[in-house]
Amino acid sequence: MKSFNRRKLILALADIFIIIVGTLITNAVFHFVAPSYSHGFFGLYYIMIADIILCVLIQYSIGSYAKSWRYFKVTDYITCGAGMLVGQILSILIFFAVHRDVSKLFFLINFFITTTGVLLFRFCFRKTFLTISDAGKRDNTIATLIVGAGHAAAMIMTELEGAKYDKNNPSADIEVVGLVDDDSSKIHTRVHGARVLGTTNDIVSVCERFGVEQIIFAIPSCSKDDRKRILDICAMTKCKIKVIPYLGDLLFDDKHTALISQAVDIKIEDLLGREPVSFDKREIRQLVKGKVCMITGGGGSIGSELVRQIAKYNPKQIIIVDIYENNAYEVQQELVMEYGDSIDLVTLISSVRDYDKMKCIFKKYRPQLVFHAAAHKHVPLMETVPEEAVKNNIFGTYNIATLSELYGADKFVLISTDKAVNPTNIMGCTKRVCEMIIQYKAQNSKHTEFVTTRFGNVLGSNGSVIPLFRKQIESGNPVTVTHRDIIRYFMTIPEAVSLVLEAGAIAKGGEIFVLDMGEPVKIVTLAENLIRMYGKEPYKDVEIKFTGLRPGEKLFEELLMDEEGLKKTVNKKIFIGNQIDINTSDFLRELDELRQSAEANESEQVVAKLAEMVPTFCHKE
C-alpha cells in the first residue's frame, strides 16, 4: 500500500466514480432501448460492485495507475482500454454464473460508456495537469533517468531543485522522471520527490515507458564490472548518456561546487570494462618540475597530450618539435590561452630526420627530458613505402637518441607500440628496431637513461578506429570493420601519456615498460556500442561492413616478446620487460646497411634488411 501514492488514488477513485455513473447511465439507456428487460436494484448493485473490483484490480495489475500523467502515450490509452475490457468480461462471466439471465447488450453498452469515460477523464486530466504544472517552466525540458539512488543521486536532485527556475542554468532543462537502483530496498522509495522505478535491468523498459531522452550514470563508486554492465544496458537505449566520474576524479573546490556540472558525455572508453589506470603524480612532478622538456611529434595526439600534462607540473621550458605546423600551432595556442606568459613554450617546425637541424635545437635549448613521439604510424600506408617508415621512424629515433646522449639529457623516453611484438607489418618492425636502438643506447650510455614505453591502441588518437567510426556514422555511411573476430588492447590518451611520464620517473635505463590494459576488446563490439551511443541500432539503422584484414594487419596483438619476461613495478598496472643484449658491432653495421637501402629507395632491400635485423618479423614478402 506504500506504493499506492496520490496519483494512483486519484485515478482509482475516478475510475470507481465513472464506473458507478456509467452503469447508472447504461441502465437508463437500456430501459429506453428495452423497457421490458430489467436487472432490478440488486442486480444493478452486483454489476457495479463486480465491475469496480475487477476493473480496478486489472488496471492496477497491468500498471495503468503507475504511469506519470506527463508521459501518457497512445499505447497507454490502449492498455487502459484493454484493462477495462478484461475486467468487464470477467464481470459478465461471474454474473452469468450467478444469474444465467444476462443481457449481452447491457454489458456492451456499459463497456462503451464506462471505458469512454475512463479514457476521456485521463485525457482531460492530463491536459489540465500539464497546463498547471508547466506554468512558469522552461520549454524543451529533457526527460532524464538517473542510474543510482545513493548519495550522488541525492546531491544531483538537490542541485536540480535549486536550478529549476534559474533561466541561465542549463541544468534547469533537466526533468528527472525517476531513478533506478539495484538495491531492492530502494524500489518504489523516493529521492527528493523522484521515485525509484526499478533496477538497472529495467533501464530499457523504463526509458521506453517514460520517453527518457537522457540518462545520468550517478554511481561514482561503482566497480568496473558493474559499471561496464550498466553502461552496456544504457547503450542499448537511444538516450544520450552522461557519466559522473569516478570518486577519485571528482572535484570540489571554488570552481567545481556542483556534481551535475561534472557529469560528462559517455565516451567509448567507458565501455572498455576496466577502471582508468592511476599513476603516482608526485613522482611525475618530481621528474618534470624545473626541467627543460622536449617533445618530438608534439602536435600529434600523444605528443600534444604529453605537452598538456607536462605543463601541469611546472617545467622550466617546453619545446614542441613537429613537422606538421597545423597541429603544432593548435597545441601552442591552447597552452598560451590556458597559461599565458606563465609558461616558457617554444614551438619549432622541424623534422627528426634532419640531424643537423636537430643538433642546432639540442645545442641551443639543452633539453633535460626528451619524449620521442614523432613517427609514421599508419600501418597500411607504411606497407607501400617501407623506406619512408625506416627514414622517419628508425633514423629519426637514432638522431634524437644520439643527440640526447651527446648533449647530456637526463632521460630519453621512446613511445613504442604493441605492434613491435612479433611484427607482421613494416610500421611494427620499424618500431621494434627503434626499441633495439634504445636498448643499444642504454647499454652504452654513461649519463642519459634510455627507456621504452609500449602500449596498445590509443582511443581517439590520430589513426585510431574511433574517429573513423564517428565520421562514418555521422555521414550516414556503413561502419567498416576489417574482421568480425579482430581484437585489440585499448587505452585512453591520458593513460598512455601518464604511463610515459611515470616510466620516465621510475626508469633506470634500458627497460621496456608495458601497461596492463585488462582484457582485449573486439573491434566490432566497439563499433556496435558507438552506434548505440548515437541513438541508432547496429545493422538496422547503421550497417557494419567487414572488409577483410589489411596488409600487415593481425587479428590479435601481443604486448611482450617471449624472451622479455615480466617484472613488477611499484605500480601494479605497469610491468617491465627485461633488457635484451645488443651486439654493438653487428647492430651498427646492420643499421648502416639499412640506411643505405632506404636512402636508395630500394623497397625490397629495405624489407629484406628489416627481416634480417628482426628475426620475429613475419611479413607477407
In DSSP notation, 554-567 reads -SS--SS-GGG--E
Q: Pick from 107-121, 142-156, 452-466, 532-546 the range whose average pLDDT is largest.
A: 142-156
Q: What is the mean pLDDT of residues 364-390?
A: 95
- Spatial contact of 296 and 372, defined as CB atoms under 8 Å apart: yes
* Cell numbers found for residue 415: 613511445
Percent of the chain with pLDDT over 90: 34
Q: Return the higher-pLDDT residue of 605 and 210.
A: 605
Please state the separation of Cα 401 from the chain's center in Å: 37
Amino acid at 342: S
Phi, psi of 345 (to 5 degrees): -120, 130
C-alpha Rg value of the chain to the nearest Å: 34
Q: Return the higher-pLDDT residue of 171 and 185.
A: 185
Name the nearest CA neighbour of 541 among 550, 549, 532.
532
Element (H, E) at 481: strand 479-481
Element (H, E) at 438: helix 426-444
Q: What does the alpha-carbon distance between residue 503 and residue 575 come to, in Å, rounded to a whole number?
A: 10
For residue 405, pLDDT over 80 is answered with yes
pTM for the model stands at: 0.62
* Cell numbers found for residue 172: 534547469
Name the nearest CA neighbour of 225 among 182, 179, 190.
182
DSSP codes, 68-93 = -GGG--HHHHHHHHHHHHHHHHHHHH
Helix boundaries (H) for 74-150: 74-98, 104-133
Residues 6+ away with beta carbon under 8 Å from 588: none
Q: What does the alpha-carbon distance between residue 162 and residue 174 come to, in Å, rounded to a whole number?
A: 12
Relative to beta strand 264-265, strand 292-296 is: unpaired
Q: Pick from 1-10, 88-97, 164-173, 205-214 the range whose average pLDDT is largest.
A: 205-214
Lowest mean pLDDT of 36-50, 111-125, 473-487, 566-580, name the range: 36-50
Please state the separation of Cα 211 from the chain's center in Å: 22
**155 band by pLDDT with thresholds 50, 70 and 90:** confident
Could you tell me the CA-to-CA distances from 544 to 33, 209, 233 in Å, in that order?
64, 29, 20
- Spatial contact of 259 and 219, defined as CB atoms under 8 Å apart: no
Please state the separation of Cα 159 from the chain's center in Å: 24
- pLDDT tens digits, one per residue of 303-348: 999 999 999 999 999 999 999 999 999 999 999 999 999 999 999 9
Percent of the chain with pLDDT over 70: 80
- Spatial contact of 607 and 621, defined as CB atoms under 8 Å apart: yes
Residues in the chain: 621
For residue 40, pLDDT over 60 is answered with no
What does pLDDT average to over the chain? 82
